[in-house]
Copies of this chain bind each other. A is one copy, B any other.
């Protein structure tokens, strides 16, 4: 990973739909050279995918929350692969501290959130922080 790779990473994080041609202009390299470097970053797993970022409110999911779950030993959220497939679960982290995991969830309405908390309650003690606003929904990673 040299400086050129880092520039390509920055460009593709800012706009994943840039053409190899446009990228080649921005980093002053030929298009095939850029395409090969990007393919290498993908093959090495540095680039994990390319995703359209959807505005949750405009997509009909105005209610978001961070939910910590303090699981009951064996019956843990992290031990049930089904939880990761629930459509409400946008992110799931295993963490240190009182809780064993934190989930970022999004739902269309409160009734659905209540139902989700009930479901999570089967795995452990959920503790909810409703998200009031998201000053930084996402930020490009700058490799050191």
Which chain B residues lie closer than 8 Å to A142 at the CB level? Answer: 87
Question: How many Å lie between the Cα of A131 and that of B93 in the bound state?
Answer: 6
Which chain B residues lie closer than 8 Å to A53 at the CB level? Answer: 47-51
User: Interface residues of A, CB < 8 Å — how many?
Assistant: 63
Interface centre among A44, A96, A129, A140 (most CB of B within 10 A): A129
Question: How many Å lie between the Cα of A92 and that of B54 in the bound state?
Answer: 17
Within 8 A of B (CB), among A13-43: 13-17
- Known contacts A89-B136, A138-B91; is-contact A13 B46 (Cβ 8 Å): no
Which chain B residues lie closer than 8 Å to A74 at the CB level? Answer: none
| Inter-subunit contact A46/B50 (CB<8 Å) | no
